Amino acid sequence: MELSWVTVATPLPSGPMKFGVTADGVAAATYAGETFAGRPVGVPECGDARKRSLVEARVGEYFAGRRTELELPIDWRFTTGPQLAVLRCLLTEVPYGRTTTYGELATRSGVFDDLPEPGLPARTVGQMMGANPLPLLVPCHRVVAADGLGGFGGAWHGVEVKRWLLTLEGVLPPTLDWSGPTG
């Protein structure tokens, strides 16, 4: 696996993000993970200045409020089957500033059309979002529970990261302590 890493400073409660790049595009992203696919995150660092600059610029512009789509090439190697179908549906059908529920995404994707058990598709989509290898690029933060924000990773900062991103995108109103761009 030829995966090298670009670290980008962010204003998120979780700190910098790391993006795993390949010859085909960005294949992985993590908010604060230390391992990915059983290997240390951040090692080796990306030596391709063009790729590194592109990722740093686009992600920086997004966090500064100057870009609504990252428009980075995606390498889908770490997802297949139904998860890939759901993630592609999310990427193409839920734009910046919008949200969808786990159940709505399950329906939109068409992946679960033959499942008779109510609630199972929404729970399965929740698990797929938790295993999304490309957070931010494939905006799983835009998928919410029918009755609130829902989860976002198992770490202490998960829901706060989701709240921050949805505030940046205008879905949620800023709180008095929000540290996002001022305009």
Co-location of 160 and 86 in the same domain: yes
Predicted local distance difference test score (pLDDT) of residue 32: 78
Predicted local distance difference test score (pLDDT) of residue 158: 82
Predicted local distance difference test score (pLDDT) of residue 128: 94
Q: Average pLDDT, whole number, for the chain?
A: 91
Whole-angstrom distance, CA of residue 42 vs CA of residue 31? 12
Whole-angstrom distance, CA of residue 162 vs CA of residue 178? 13
Question: Which amino acids are annotated catalytic?
Answer: 140
Give the CATH number of the domain where residue 148 resides. 1.10.10.10
Asked if residue 72 belongs to a domain, the reply is: no
What mean pLDDT do residues 95-122 have?
Answer: 89
pLDDT at 131 over 70: yes
Burial of 80 (0-12, 13-18, 19+ CB in 10 A): exposed
Co-location of 121 and 156 in the same domain: yes
Asked if residue 27 belongs to a domain, the reply is: yes
100-119 residues labelled b (16+ CB within 10 A) or e (exposed): bbbbbbbbbbebbeeeeeee
Domain count, the chain: 2
Nearest partner of 111 among 82, 132, 140, judged by Cα: 82
Co-location of 95 and 35 in the same domain: no
Confirm if 27 and 78 have CB atoms less than 8 A apart.
yes
Co-location of 96 and 57 in the same domain: no
Asked if residue 175 belongs to a domain, the reply is: no
| pLDDT one-digit tens code per residue, 66-102 | 999 999 999 999 999 999 999 999 999 999 999 999 9
Q: pTM to 2 decimals?
A: 0.93
Range of the domain at 58: 4-63
Whole-angstrom distance, CA of residue 153 vs CA of residue 142? 13
| Confidence bin at 1 (pLDDT 50/70/90) | low
What mean pLDDT do residues 146-174 have?
Answer: 87
Co-location of 33 and 98 in the same domain: no
Predicted local distance difference test score (pLDDT) of residue 118: 67
Asked if residue 15 belongs to a domain, the reply is: yes
| Confidence bin at 42 (pLDDT 50/70/90) | confident
